Amino acid sequence: MDVVAHSVSPDLGDRIIKVNHAGEHGAIAIYTGQILLARLTAPALVDELREFRSHEERHRSIFGAELQRRGRPRCRSYWLCGVGGFVLGVATGLLGRGAVSATTTAVERVVLRHLQHQIVVLGGHDPAAVLAISSIIADEQQHHDQALAHSQAGAFWPKVLGPIVSGATEAVIWLGMRL
């Protein structure tokens, strides 16, 4: 990581903020799709999902304001994240509580790893980006931990959805950094 931190390109903070903004849009779409179906398949989760979505809306606003301050447009993957997130949310919402919780746990595990890496890479190079990223970590950790608490050790959905959702999340981040 030290090698990467010393060779930070001037626009890396901009690209990271753009991708994080698009990712928050995708998270809002996931929760929207899940809420739509969870009212039937996992009604006990709906209030929590609404709370999580409100956090993601605030996160998107933080990154949106930072993009505006920098005079940067949103990421080209913004709408892809929204559509893909909604489809993932509807599909996992249809599958019920275990699938919803496994999806949130998998997405947030990847997101938290990326956010922590971004802080290390940008530390000392882009304080505004580090501040924006740091401001959302506690919420993302809360989402991960609460969803994980709903999952049972050895449960079916985490084993099936965890690798798929994690891989898809990594792929969307990778793609967003290159668009």
Reduce the DSSP state of residue 130 to 3 states and report it.
helix
What sign has the CA pseudo-torsion 5, 11, 16, 17?
positive
Q: In the prediction, which pLDDT does 157 show?
A: 85
- The half-sphere exposure of 72 on its side-chain side, counting CA atoms within 13 A, is 21
| Within a domain: 3 | no
Residue labelled with tokens 């994690």: 166
- Below-50 pLDDT ranges, the chain: 1-5
Q: Are 17 and 66 in contact (CB under 8 A)?
A: yes
Measured in whole angstroms, the distance separating CA 174 from the mean position of its chain's CA atoms is 13
How many domains does the structure of the chain reveal? 1
Q: In the prediction, which pLDDT does 154 show?
A: 60
CA dihedral 32, 87, 72, 69 (to 10 degrees): 10
Q: In the prediction, which pLDDT does 152 show?
A: 65
- For residues 16 and 5, what is the distance between their CA atoms, to the nearest angstrom? 14
Q: In the prediction, which pLDDT does 7 show?
A: 64
Report DSSP state, residue 74: P
| Within a domain: 25 | yes
The model's pLDDT over 109-129, given as tens digits with 9 standing for 90+, comes to: 999 999 999 999 999 899 999
| Within a domain: 38 | yes
| Within a domain: 115 | yes
The model's pLDDT over 92-113, given as tens digits with 9 standing for 90+, comes to: 999 999 999 999 999 999 999 9
Instruction: Quote the pTM value.
Output: 0.91
Residue labelled with tokens 């956010």: 115
Single out the residue of 143, 160, 166, 135 nearest to residue 20, CA to CA: 135
Q: For position 37, which CATH number holds?
A: 1.20.1260
Q: In the prediction, which pLDDT does 4 show?
A: 46
| Within a domain: 108 | yes
Residue 42 sits at φ, ψ, to 5 deg, of -155, 60
Q: In the prediction, which pLDDT does 1 show?
A: 38
Cβ-based neighbours of 146, under 8 Å, separated by 6 or more: 48, 104
Q: In the prediction, which pLDDT does 156 show?
A: 82
Q: In the prediction, which pLDDT does 159 show?
A: 84
Q: In the prediction, which pLDDT does 153 show?
A: 55
Q: In the prediction, which pLDDT does 5 show?
A: 43
| Within a domain: 5 | no
| Containing structural domain, residue 134 | 11-178
| Within a domain: 130 | yes
